[in-house]
Structure 1
């Protein structure tokens, strides 16, 4: 029987390369570019500090066993120069990879460890795209980097659909051009997800889009005018509303261990 979270996503080989790709962008920035708007009220400097904070918090919790309430990290980092922030970011590179490669990512858990690693990668990759767009750098959107992000966001669907009642065997079909196909299935005890096209000729609902539109939809940065043409939905209205309202923070929070 397929586990509710679906088959493992292996992003371990991508972690250092994703970090190095962002360092390459940051290393070329001129001082004014650090102040460019990147996401909401956050600048490139703020968003870089946020990504660094995510990494350091994960290392503190999962490597060092240090659990503490979240502090206002980004405002505190505004007193740091871009040079100091960049040096701290470089110093953190590869540490998460070193942490995870010595752990059994397949060990049984309520939320498998491989999914924790994948969610962190997806979050950091998404923030990197916002930084790249802010400074006019090409996106890191090759399929090898982008497809695991799409895959990870979709793994939240069994939790997102938990309030939807459907007979066992009903399917929700998701097709993302440039990434692949996924099927969410109702069972007697909830929903599960797996890679591959739906086998039902009349799924409960379906989503069809492209990889670029999908991550933008999840990050809340897909213009409403484009959503209607780039994200095609059909089927049960309640399920379609859930598919259309996927957002990065909510998706990733459903994949985070308690």
Structure 2
């Protein structure tokens, strides 16, 4: 597969996302999405949570305890779904303004981190949804 380098696009995409979020009305934040049980606010909370978790784990080398036992793809999906649910439960408590402020910081740090990575280096784990046991950073980033 030919590498698709996208890290240079992070600042542009994140700026557009933040611009969109700043334009939302209170009613927009409460609008339902196609994700069951998640309003627009929960989707934003999920984006913030995953960005912060990735920075903590990959940039800072921080793991909050030992990894779970994952013996199957189903185990992996259950683990990721649990992390996502827990993150949304925490960040849904914040106001849209606070979510946006936190996303401004995490977006900048995430973009800087991804731009420093060697895109051809091993990401340390596979992009499992694509059937890979090991992946390069460019594929994980894309």
Range into which the TM-score falls when normalised by the shorter chain = 0.7 to 0.9
Corresponding residue of 1:27: 22
Aligned pair 1:40/2:32, yes or no? no
- Secondary structure of the 1:87 match is helix
CA distance in 2, matches of 1:97, 1:86: 16
Alpha-carbon RMSD: 1.7
Matches within 5 A, 1:1-258: 6-38=1-33, 39-68=35-64, 70=83, 72-108=86-122, 110-118=134-142
Equivalent-residue separation in structure 2 for 1:12 and 1:78 (angstroms): 28
Give per-residue Cα distances to partners, 1:152-183, cap 9 Å, x unaligned.
Answer: xxxxxxxxxxxxxxxxxxxxxxxxxxxxxxxx
Deviates more, 1:100-109 or 1:85-94: 100-109
Q: Cα offset for 1:78? A: 2.0
Write the distance in 2 (CA, Å) between the matches of 1:79 and 1:102: 33
**Larger proportion of strand:** 1
Looking at structure 1, the residues matched to 44 and 22 of structure 2 have their Cα atoms a distance apart, in angstroms, of 12
Structure (1 or 2) with the larger CA radius of gyration: 1
Alpha-carbon offset, residue 112 of structure 1: 0.8
Give TM-score, length-normalised by structure 2: 0.73
TM-score (normalizing by structure 1): 0.41
Deviation of the 1:81 alpha carbon: 1.1
> Greater share of helix residues, 1 or 2?
2
